[in-house]
């Protein structure tokens, strides 16, 4: 029955949509960000739209259907790679979120400027082309919202990190700090008093940082590169919909205003066939396989030698096979049961029934993919939202988390034993996977439907909550609370005065009596 409805909805969607011209600007040269943007834009092209993507990487397998134009931000990928090499990524584990936020902000602002000033982007801006919708990631690149106003097209945001402060602010989404932890803090949804205090203070801090530091910088950029556009703040709060890379199977359920749409998992395609050698390796490993990858941005080849040796000696003791994403040609001291791959088809590996465990940094994409396939995890979170994801993994009971600093042969062995011996982790992973797949329509179809919806309804202003137009003190009811407070103080004062008066009336005769006698 459900698939019948899905089919009907899909047919309606396909039937109703004309070919639209859609622009996506996804300049962040981080692979996971790029994968999300590219997957969304490819999905739109595959549904017959005329798609243009501004991107740091060129996809060598563009979709066969529709039209897919890639405008390369030449030099971005190289610059990022150089920067990444100079930075010890594993050292970011230490970084405090209060410190990392302004650092992120300044990097992001510089990136936003480089994009706008890029020759290929300038050519696009001056091409006189028209678009029916503009899609941007929401990642401290607010000046880019000028693209939407410039092309007179509705603005659609893709939020890579679920619902977070940056997005909530723009569409007036309520996000109580009592139970919604900030994406950059390593807190779970069950917060102690101190957690709630930290969460609230951090929220205020990040609002202040945005309003006092980030937005003015973005406004300057915006005015410089879009001199003929409407004022920055009018465009900033003019988001039609936010496509949120999240789903209740992936993260804690939180409130959404009507123009926030869950599309978590949209980037995942059904598993393809594996390369022959991997297929054989996985098929033959009846004792089970552990898949180990720290993602594309962190590289396990950059693990300090002492940490690397912990993994080597722990793996060497095990009967199971290990498939390790290792980015160099040789791994010194490679045990017999370890197979290496510089690049590994993660989704196809996770789909294999012999894969029993995934050791991951806990990035959102890896977490999503492991839930899709129902594989339990050992998370070793380093930076960004990874600690938050690790908390969720532990809370939902489909994995364990091991702090980077705590990695030793003893702790690693202990965690692996627990994960592999206790069947509850695999069961919970399967349960999460069932929740993930139980939807009316798939996440990519949902995303395409809503993009087309926004185009059909010219920005769909009827979905916006009125809170977007309120200044913060009205939104937070500071004025109302203030008046109530003043009234209370005034009444208390009045009450005090009247009581005093009445008391003095009653006491007066007594005093007089005393005086007389």
Ligand X SMILES: *[C@@H]1O[C@H](CO)[C@@H](O)[C@H](O)[C@H]1NC(C)=O
Q: Work out which of 138, 141, 186, 238 binds ligand X, going by CB under 6 A.
A: 238
Q: Work out which of 16, 234, 328, 434 binds ligand X, going by CB under 6 A.
A: 234
Which region among 175-183, 194-202, 227-235, 335-343 touches ligand X (by CB under 6 A)?
A: 227-235
Distance between CA 202 and CA 198 in Å, rounded? 6
CA angle 246, 251, 252 (to 5 degrees): 120
Nearer to ligand X, 16 or 418 (CB): 418
Nearest by Cα to 108 from 15, 214, 198, 191: 214
230 binds ligand X (CB under 6 A): yes
Nearer to ligand X, 27 or 459 (CB): 459
Half-sphere exposure of 37 (CA within 13 A, CB side): 30
Which region among 50-58, 80-88, 229-237, 268-276 touches ligand X (by CB under 6 A)?
A: 229-237
Distance between CA 2 and CA 388 in Å, rounded? 33
* Cβ count near 183 (within 10 Å): 21
239 binds ligand X (CB under 6 A): no
Q: Work out which of 40, 124, 156, 235 binds ligand X, going by CB under 6 A.
A: 235
> What is residue 300's DSSP assignment?
G
Q: Which of residues 441-460 bind ligand X (CB under 6 A)?
A: 458-459
Which residues share a beta bridge with 239?
Answer: 155
Smallest distance from ligand X to CB 19, Å: 19
420 binds ligand X (CB under 6 A): yes
Q: Please count the residues of this chain forming the interface with ligand X, following the rule CB under 6 A.
A: 14
Q: Which of residues 183-212 bind ligand X (CB under 6 A)?
A: none
For residues 447 and 345, the answer to whether their CB atoms sit within 8 Å is no
119 binds ligand X (CB under 6 A): yes
Q: Work out which of 3, 74, 106, 117 binds ligand X, going by CB under 6 A.
A: 117
Which region among 1-9, 204-212, 230-238, 341-349 touches ligand X (by CB under 6 A)?
A: 230-238
Contact string 65-104 vs ligand X (x = CB under 6 A): ----------------------------------------
Residue nearest to ligand X (CB): 459
The pair of structure tokens assigned to 209 is 């940082």
Q: Which of residues 130-159 bind ligand X (CB under 6 A)?
A: 149, 154
- On the 0-12 / 13-18 / 19+ scale of CB atoms within 10 A, 327 is middle
Strand 133-137 and strand 67-72: the pairing is unpaired
Nearest by Cα to 299 from 324, 277, 326: 326
22 binds ligand X (CB under 6 A): no
DSSP string, 429-494: HHHHHHHHH--SS-HHHHHHHHHHHHHHTTT-GGG--GGGGS-HHHHTTHHHHHHHHHHHHHHHHH
Residues that bind ligand X (CB under 6 A): 113, 117, 119, 149, 154, 230, 234-235, 238, 417, 420-421, 458-459
């Amino acid at each position: 029955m459900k698939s019948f409805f899905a089919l009907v909805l899909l047919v309606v969607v396909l039937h109703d949509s004309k070919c639209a011209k859609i622009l996506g600007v996804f300049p962040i040269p981080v692979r996971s960000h790029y994968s999300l943007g590219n997957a969304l834009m490819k999905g739109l092209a595959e549904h017959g739209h005329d798609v243009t993507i501004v991107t740091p990487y060129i996809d060598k397998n563009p979709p066969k259907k529709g039209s897919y134009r890639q405008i390369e931000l030449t030099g971005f990928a190289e610059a990022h790679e150089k920067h990444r090499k100079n930075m010890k990524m594993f050292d970011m584990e230490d970084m405090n979120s209060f410190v990392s936020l302004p650092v992120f902000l300044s990097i992001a602002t510089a990136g936003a400027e480089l994009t706008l000033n890029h020759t290929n982007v300038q050519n696009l801006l001056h091409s006189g082309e028209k678009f029916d919708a503009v899609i941007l990631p929401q990642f401290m690149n607010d000046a880019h919202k000028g693209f939407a106003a410039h092309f007179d097209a509705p603005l659609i945001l893709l939020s890579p990190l679920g619902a977070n402060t940056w997005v909530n602010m723009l569409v007036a989404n309520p996000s109580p700090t009592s139970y919604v932890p900030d994406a950059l803090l390593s807190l779970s949804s069950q917060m102690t008093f101190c957690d709630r205090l930290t969460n609230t203070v951090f929220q205020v801090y990040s609002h202040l940082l945005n309003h006092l530091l980030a937005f003015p910088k973005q406004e300057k950029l915006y005015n410089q590169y879009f001199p003929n556009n409407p004022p920055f703040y009018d465009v900033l709060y003019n988001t039609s919909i936010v496509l949120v890379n999240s789903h209740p199977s992936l993260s804690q359920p939180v409130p959404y205003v009507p123009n926030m749409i869950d599309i978590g998992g949209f980037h995942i395609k059904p598993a393809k066939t594996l390369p022959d050698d991997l297929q054989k390796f996985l098929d033959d490993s009846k004792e089970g396989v552990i898949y180990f990858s720290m993602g594309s941005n962190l590289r396990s080849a950059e693990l300090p030698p002492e940490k690397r040796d912990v993994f080597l000696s722990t793996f060497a003791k095990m009967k199971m096979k290990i498939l390790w994403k290792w980015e160099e040609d040789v791994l010194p001291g490679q045990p017999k049961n370890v197979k290496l791959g510089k690049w590994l088809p993660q989704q196809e590996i996770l789909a294999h029934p012999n894969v029993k465990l995934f050791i991951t940094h806990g990035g959102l994409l890896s977490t999503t993919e492991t839930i899709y396939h129902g594989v339990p995890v050992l998370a070793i979170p380093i930076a960004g939202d990874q600690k938050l994801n690790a908390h969720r993994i532990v809370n939902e009971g489909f994995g364990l988390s091991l702090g980077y600093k705590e990695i030793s042969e003893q702790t690693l062995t202990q965690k692996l034993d627990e994960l592999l011996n206790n069947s509850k982790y695999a069961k919970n992973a399967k349960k999460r996977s069932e929740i993930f797949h139980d939807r009316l329509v798939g996440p990519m179809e949902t995303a395409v439907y809503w993009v087309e919806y926004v185009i059909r309804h010219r920005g769909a202003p009827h979905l916006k909550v009125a809170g977007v137009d309120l200044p913060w003190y009205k939104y937070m009811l500071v004025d109302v609370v203030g008046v109530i407070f003043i009234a209370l103080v005034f009444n208390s004062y009045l009450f005090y005065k009247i009581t005093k008066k009445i008391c003095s009336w009653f006491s007066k005769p007594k005093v007089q009596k005393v005086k007389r006698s």
